[in-house]
Structure 1
Amino acid sequence: MHLFNKIKFRTPESVELEFTLAGIGNRAWALLIDYHVLAAFMTVFVVVWVTVAVQLADLWTIIFGKQVSLWLIAIALITGFAIYTGYFVFFETLWHGQTPGKRFAKIRVVRDDGRPVGLQQTTLRALLRPIDEFFYLGSLFIIFSDREKRLGDLAAGTIVIQAQRPLASTTLTICEQAKPIYEHLLQVADLSALLPDDFAVIREYLLRRTQMSTKARMKLALELTQQVQDIIDLEKLPEAVVPDVFLEAVYLGYKQIGEWGVGSGE
């Protein structure tokens, strides 16, 4: 197992994203925190259940003359297991692959293709967790498997990765070369033909391009440029303009049109 085992995903938009697998150390730290939180829930349950069970047992004995201690114990065990598994299912589904422990350790569960986990995946992982923890079987699988998967991950088709840090800012970095080009585009092309969804795709690319590999970035920029050219009816790019700069210029131009639209009362 590598100290920093990385994995790559390719999105339907041909964007290549790279993530670092969480590793057994981070996962153990997250699980330790989760067990402390879970212990608090279980303590409350035990206190409440003992109080209620004693009263129910006395009432049942008075009415029917029979003891129900075994039934109460069985119900307590089933409820306890439901709380145990439900804790992980609830948080990983609600928090998109994170529990309180995982959030503190900055790790996350995702599907094998990088998509967020759903109820099916979180339930399978939770139900197989007791088996993974039996004689530390899960730890052995994590150590010796390529993608650091325990049995629950293998069954659910999930992996655990280090959580990505959010983008520090939503402000785009636009080069000086793009500014005169967008003014030229306003004169020779119809940027209003771009739909809001088209603009959103361009903006998303410009925000995330630094996270892509060079090859994926160049390929996607060229594809987006060709699509934009077709939409705005532009036969060829201005001389010596690369796709990245062109997309920056289109972004500025379309944004300028939007500001005009707002000012004119649209």
Structure 2
Amino acid sequence: MHIFNRVKYQTPESVELEFVLAGIGSRAWALLIDYHVLALILITFLITWLFLSVQVLDWLTNIFGGDKVGIWLYAIALLVNYFIYTGYFVCFETLWQGQTPGKRIAKIRVLKDNGRPIGLQQAALRALLRPIDDTLFLGAFFIIFGRREKRIGDWVAGTIVIQTQPPSLATTFTISEQAKLLCQELLETANISAMLPDDFAIIREYLLRRKGMSQKGRDAVALRLAKQVKTIINLEKAPEGVSPDVFLEAIYLTYQKFSNFGQ
């Protein structure tokens, strides 16, 4: 078992992304949080269901007759419990770009094997196979001893779980004053919500690595990235007198502020 197991992907923009796989510790911590949240949801549902069942039991017995009404109510409660259990993970991982409340607190995220965000299909497969992974701790066994640290649900869905590393401006790279001013303008004119987390990751990787590039290579990559970002955010009019480098810095800041506001 590796202490830090890393995977690398080459993007179409020729930028290499490196992710640190989430180990058993962070994944167990996230699952523990999620199960506590789930327990609160399920307990609330069961109390509500029990209260309603007591109110309508006699009425349903008079309509359908027999003594099996209680059994049917119990069976329906079990079925709804299962849908809540699987739906919790499916909904959050689909809507929150591969995160649940537990994963967000533990700072981990689910991605496809190619580094792209997961969709409904991958989230559903992972959720449906979770009971198997939880049985006799099979999932933990596969994560601990597997090279890619995947549980059974990850292998079937074609996903990996990575650690997220929130950027820190003070310890990573310098943002120009021009980019900070442009950031305020982009918050009002650009459709930042169209950007995905991996789009942001590509920009961050470029800004981190640009000092190690040749000037020619740096200019070419920055120009290509800037053009693609303008298309993604539907920016009809490019800022005047702004270099691609400064534009990417501004996008980096804008996406950060937009994400923090959304949370």
Note if 1:19 corresponds to 2:22. Answer: no
Note if 1:172 corresponds to 2:175. Answer: yes
Take 2:125 and 2:103, find their aligned partners in 1: how far apart are those partners? 18
Are residues 66 and 214 of structure 1, via their aligned partners in 2, closer, same or farther at CA, if it must alter by over 3 Å?
farther
- Per the alignment, residue 35 of structure 2 pairs with 35
Take 1:120 and 1:168, find their aligned partners in 2: how far apart are those partners? 36
Q: What are the superposed Cα offsets for residues 111-159 of structure 1, whole Å, 9 maximum, x if unpaired?
A: 1111111111111100000000000000011011111000110111111
Are residues 168 and 141 of structure 1, via their aligned partners in 2, closer, same or farther at CA, if it must alter by over 3 Å?
same
Give the TM-score normalised by structure 2.
0.69
Letter in 2 for 1:133: D
Q: What are the superposed Cα offsets for residues 203-246 of structure 1, whole Å, 9 maximum, x if unpaired?
A: 9977532544998x559537448979xxxxxxxxxxxxxxxxxx
Q: How does 1:188-207 map to 2 (within 5 A)?
A: none
Q: How does 1:126-145 map to 2 (within 5 A)?
A: 126-145=127-146
- Per the alignment, residue 6 of structure 1 pairs with 6
User: Where does the alignment leave 5 or more consecutive residues of structure 2 unmatched?
Assistant: 178-189, 191-199, 226-241, 249-263
Note if 1:99 corresponds to 2:85. Answer: no
- Per the alignment, residue 111 of structure 1 pairs with 112
Take 1:225 and 1:110, find their aligned partners in 2: how far apart are those partners? 25
- Per the alignment, residue 121 of structure 1 pairs with 122
Deviation at 1:71, TM superposition (A): 1.3
Take 2:140 and 2:246, find their aligned partners in 1: how far apart are those partners? 54
Note if 1:61 corresponds to 2:64. Answer: no
Take 2:218 and 2:15, find their aligned partners in 1: how far apart are those partners? 10
Deviation at 1:63, TM superposition (A): 2.5
Take 1:213 and 1:254, find their aligned partners in 2: how far apart are those partners? 14
SS of 2:118's equivalent in the other structure is coil
RMSD over aligned CA atoms reads 3.4
Aligned structure 1 segments of 4 or more residues deviating by more than 4 angstroms: 203-207, 212-215, 217-220, 225-228, 252-255
SS of 1:161's equivalent in the other structure is strand
Q: How does 1:113-262 map to 2 (within 5 A)?
A: 113-166=114-167, 168=169, 172=175, 208-212=205-209, 221=218, 223-224=220-221, 250-251=243-244
Give the TM-score normalised by structure 1.
0.68
Letter in 2 for 1:139: A
Letter in 2 for 1:136: F
Indicate the structure (1 or 2) with the bigger Cα radius of gyration: 1
Deviation at 1:171, TM superposition (A): 6.3
Deviation at 1:173, TM superposition (A): 5.0
- Per the alignment, residue 246 of structure 1 pairs with none
User: Where does the alignment leave 5 or more consecutive residues of structure 1 unmatched?
Assistant: 175-195, 197-202, 229-248, 256-266
Q: Count how many residue pairs are aligned between Structure 1 and Structure 2.
A: 208
Are residues 16 and 173 of structure 1, via their aligned partners in 2, closer, same or farther at CA, if it must alter by over 3 Å?
farther
